[in-house]
């Protein structure tokens, strides 16, 4: 009997793997360097889709070079498009060459950041330390890298619930709650927050939605009134989720006012700052997040507006003790030692839901060192300037209409026809969005503001130039005119 492994089986096979690896690096760097020459997005041809979806279980080996060929033929040409300079869909980051290589390094080490004494944990601690400083959190605050802000919000709200419940939620469960616990967020809250509240077992009704003003910020007077009414009705308010950059329009709640109110009302202040919290990096944008440094917890992505490869996000929690209390469990097989590999300053598995954890921190650590925070700040400012440039063009074009003020990097606008009713304009703009995707020159996604359909480009893209935004406006005008004629408007 011979022992099998999954490594290349001979010196020659190692050489072939090395050659394939070099080819992959060359191909992928060329791919990134030439993104602009390809469509942003293109439909997947039916025969390709069939190949992707209908392969039998492979029971016998295939040459790795052949597997790679399949990837190059069937996967690589049909991306989501977010690496392209003219992609502004949803809020999605762009990635960088070194970020991709760093992911490879982490994968090659294949380490596990659940805990124990090894260097990777100290890289994550260092990255968290940098972010604490950048967000104005104290050095003894706690934090964790997670897959995305959805997960980071879930972690923050779990700590909030347990800290403010007034009973031992971990032991007793919600059956023990004397009164319904309530969180508050604006009507613009990201959908992952109600989902987190559901997952926490509180029920969607336990997230009260506070109305917004014309700038799409939470109406704090309305919040105050809702709190008073809910307390009078016997409910137990426990926390507020403030927004630093809402997903629809990039609006910021008044975090300072929320921090005052939460302090006075004994409420947890959690901030969903998926992309907007990064405004803290830039001296000129920082006033937008004033008060963020007073939050009990904050969640933000590194894969969106700091452009590292998916997936990477951070949750910071002011109180290390409350963070640890919410998740710590140490069974015998995970006992921490004083020496040897089971030692270690920190076991990240005690601060979240995952035990086994990947080396997300490495791509952040390497990228931040590669560029320096000041360059990130300039890119964020550049994206905001581009959004304002686009908004100014929209305001100059009689056929285009701006539907919300530009707070940050998101522009909400539509193609319009004087006198046409909103339902016809909605149909026109919905179809316009899809046709833009199919043309593959620019890509923005849509939303509805007060019932009106609009395009909603989000400039979270370090590859875009000002000229790209003129291409966007030109494309919208061209397709809009065609549709206007087709629809007889
Ligand atoms: C994207 C986003 C989220 C969710 O973040 P993921 O990284 O996609 O999980 C939450 N809140 C806001 C405001 C967002 O833009």
Q: Are 280 and 136 in contact (CB under 8 A)?
A: yes
The proportion of the chain whose per-residue pLDDT surpasses 90, expressed as a percent, equals 96
Question: Cα(388) to centroid of ligand 1, in Å?
Answer: 23
pLDDT given at position 330? 80
Residue 304 alpha carbon, nearest atom of ligand 1: 7
Q: Which atom of ligand 1 is nearest to the CA of 152?
A: 9
Q: Distance, CA 148 to ligand 1 centroid (Å)?
A: 7
Q: What's the CA-to-centroid distance between 22 and ligand 1, angstroms?
A: 35
Strand, coil or helix: 151: helix
Residues 99-142 have pLDDT tens digits of: 999 999 999 999 999 999 999 999 999 999 999 999 999 999 99
Give 44 Cα–ligand 1 centroid separation in angstroms: 27
Q: Ligand 1 atom closest to Cα of 276?
A: 13
Q: What is the pLDDT of residues 168-221, one digit of tens each?
A: 999 999 999 999 999 999 999 999 999 999 999 999 999 999 999 999 999 999
pLDDT mean across residues, the chain: 97
Whole-number Å distance, alpha carbon 149 to ligand 1 midpoint, is 5
pLDDT (tens digit per residue) in 339-357: 999 888 889 999 999 999 9
Reported as a pLDDT band with limits 50, 70 and 90, residue 331 is: confident
Distance 296 CA to ligand 1 centre (A): 19
Q: What is the DSSP letter of 62?
A: -
Q: What ligand 1 atom has the least distance to the C-alpha of 303?
A: 7
Contacts 24+ apart (CB under 8 A), 413-420: 413/454, 413/455, 414/452, 414/453, 414/454, 414/455, 415/476, 415/477, 415/479, 415/480, 415/483, 415/484, 417/484, 417/489, 420/489
Among protein residues, the one with the nearest Cα to ligand 1's atom 14 is 274
**Which of 80, 145, 148, 288 should be mutated for ligand 1, with most atoms under 8 A from CB?**
148
Tokens encoding 127: 């990255």
300 CA to centre of ligand 1 in angstroms = 8
Cα of 207 vs centre of ligand 1, distance in Å, is 17
The answer to whether 445 and 90 are in contact (CB under 8 A) is yes
Ligand 1: nearest atom to the Cα of 151 = 9
Q: Which of 149, 196, 270 to mutate to test the pocket of ligand 1 (most atoms within 8 A of CB)?
A: 149
| Separation of CA 167 and ligand 1 centre (Å) | 30
Q: Give the closest residue (by CA) to ligand 1 atom 15.
A: 247
**CA angle, residues 7, 11, 13, in degrees to nearest 5:** 55
Quote the pLDDT of residue 144: 98
Ligand 1, pocket-test mutation among 150, 154, 292, 315, most atoms within 8 A of CB? 150
Does the pLDDT of residue 380 top 90, yes or no?
Answer: yes
pLDDT band at 332 (very low <50, low <70, confident <90, very high): confident
Distance CA(420)–CA(436), nearest Å, equals 22
Q: What's the pLDDT at 303?
A: 98
Instruction: Compute the distance between CA of residue 359 and CA of residue 336 in angstroms, rounded to an integer.
Output: 20
Ligand 1 interacting residues, C-beta cut-off 6 A? 91, 148-150, 190, 192, 245, 247, 272, 274-275, 301, 313
Ligand 1 centre distance from Cα of residue 12 (Å): 46
Q: What is the pTM of this model?
A: 0.97
Instruction: Give me the pLDDT at residue 160, please.
Output: 98
The CA distance from 279 to 379, in Å, is 11
Residue 336 predicted with pLDDT over 90? no
Q: What is the pLDDT of residue 97?
A: 98
What's the pLDDT score for residue 418? 94
Among residues 322, 416, 308, the alpha carbon closest in space to that of 370 is found at 308
Query: Has residue 396 got a pLDDT over 90?
Result: yes
Q: What is the DSSP string of 334-388?
A: G---SSSTT--S--GGGGSS-SS---HHHHHHHHHHHH-HHHHHHHHHHHHHHHH
Q: What percent of the chain has pLDDT over 70?
A: 100
Q: What integer pLDDT is reported at residue 296 of this predicted model? A: 98
pLDDT digits (tens, 9 = 90+) for 438-475: 999 999 999 999 999 999 999 999 999 999 999 999 99
What's residue 308's pLDDT? 98
């Amino acid at each position: 009997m011979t022992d099998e492994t999954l490594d290349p089986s001979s010196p020659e096979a190692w050489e072939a793997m090395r050659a394939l690896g070099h080819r992959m690096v060359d191909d992928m760097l060329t791919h990134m360097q030439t993104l602009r020459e390809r469509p942003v997005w293109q439909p997947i041809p039916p025969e390709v889709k069939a190949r992707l979806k209908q392969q039998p279980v492979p029971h016998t080996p295939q040459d790795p070079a052949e597997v790679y060929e399949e990837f190059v033929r069937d996967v690589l040409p049909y991306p989501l498009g977010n690496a392209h300079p003219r992609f502004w869909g949803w809020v999605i980051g762009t990635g960088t060459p070194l970020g991709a290589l760093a992911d490879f390094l982490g994968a090659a080490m294949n380490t596990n950041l659940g805990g124990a004494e090894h260097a990777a944990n100290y890289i994550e601690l260092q990255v968290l330390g940098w972010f604490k400083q950048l967000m104005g959190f104290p050095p003894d605050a706690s934090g964790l890298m997670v897959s995305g802000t959805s997960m980071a919000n879930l972690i923050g709200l779990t700590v909030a619930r347990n800290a403010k419940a007034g009973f031992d939620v971990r032991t007793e469960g919600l059956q023990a709650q004397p009164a319904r616990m309530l969180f508050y967020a604006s009507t613009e809250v990201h959908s992952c927050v109600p989902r987190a509240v559901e997952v926490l077992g509180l029920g969607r009704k336990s997230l009260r939605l506070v109305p917004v003003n014309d700038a799409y910020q939470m109406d704090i007077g309305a919040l105050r009134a809702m709190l008073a009414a809910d307390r009078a009705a016997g409910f137990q308010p426990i926390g507020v989720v403030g927004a630093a950059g809402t997903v629809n329009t990039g609006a910021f709640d008044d975090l300072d006012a929320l921090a005052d109110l939460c302090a006075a009302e004994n409420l947890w202040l959690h901030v969903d700052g998926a992309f907007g919290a990064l405004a803290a990096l830039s001296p000129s944008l920082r006033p937008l997040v004033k008060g963020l440094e007073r939050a009990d917890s904050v969640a933000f992505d590194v894969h969106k507006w700091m452009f590292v490869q998916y997936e990477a996000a951070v949750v910071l929690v002011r109180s290390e003790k409350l963070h640890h209390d919410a998740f710590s469990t140490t069974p015998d097989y995970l006992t921490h030692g004083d020496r040897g590999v089971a030692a270690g300053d920190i076991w990240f598995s005690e601060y979240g839901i995952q035990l086994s954890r990947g080396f997300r921190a490495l791509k952040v650590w390497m990228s931040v060192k590669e560029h320096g925070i000041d360059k990130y700040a300039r890119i964020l400012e550049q994206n905001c300037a581009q959004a304002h440039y686009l908004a100014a063009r929209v305001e100059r074009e009689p056929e285009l209409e701006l539907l919300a003020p530009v707070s940050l990097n998101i522009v909400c606008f539509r193609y319009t026809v004087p006198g046409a009713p909103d339902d016809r304009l909605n149909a026109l703009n919905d179809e316009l969005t899809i046709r833009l995707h199919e043309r593959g020159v620019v890509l923005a996604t849509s939303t509805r503001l007060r019932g009106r359909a609009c395009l909603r480009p989000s400039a979270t893209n370090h590859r875009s130039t000002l000229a790209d935004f003129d291409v966007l406006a030109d494309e919208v005008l061209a397709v809009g005119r065609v549709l206007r004629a087709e629809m007889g408007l």
